[in-house]
Every structure is written in C-alpha cells, then in structure tokens.
Amino acid sequence: MEVNIHQAKTHLSRLLQRVAGGEEITIARAGVPVARLVAIDKGRTPRPLGMDRGRFRVPEDFDGPLPDEVLALFEGRASVPDKHRLQRKKRPARPGSARRPPRSS
C-alpha cells in the first residue's frame, strides 16, 4: 500500500495496525516513495551473556594510570602530532553548489 505524507500523518494509528498485521506501507512525497513502514522483526533472540568468555583477556593494568603523553591529550594540554592525524580528503564541489557564507548572529 502507498500513502502520501498527509495521509500518513492523519491515519498513523490505522497504518501502524496494518503494519502490525504484516502489511508493508510506503510513504510518498509527490508520488515519489520516501519511506517504508514495516513491522519490527521479533524473530531475533537476545545474545546470551558470556558468549565471548575465554576469547580475550583484560590486562592487569587495564585501569592503571595512563602514560603522561596520553593523559595530556585527553586533558587538552597537548595535541596529536601531524603524522598521526587523520587526513580528510577534500571532495570536489558539486556543479552549481556554492558555499554559503556563515550566518551572522
């Protein structure tokens, strides 16, 4: 079933009842599908506690003090050296998209 946004907002409770009954509903804007209402899959079972027991070991010094250089990074007293910074790739601008100047408050 496909409904427009106005119908979805007006009849949300009814649509949710239909979804709970197994129906899938598509919500469209100006005839173009933009969202789908589907029931949540209840077939998944929760993961049992302890399923990774024995797969790793927590080191004895896990909660020990951090080295000074690491602690300084967390406290803002130091910055990450350039060689360790993640370099973001600049994406080329899309045709016709100009950057807007920042808003003044």
CA 59 from chain centre, in angstroms, equals: 31
pLDDT by residue for the chain (105 residues), tens only, comes to 999 999 999 999 999 999 999 999 999 999 999 999 999 887 777 888 888 889 988 899 999 999 998 899 889 888 877 766 666 667 676 666 566 666 665
Task: Parse the chain into domains and list their residue ranges.
Answer: 2-37
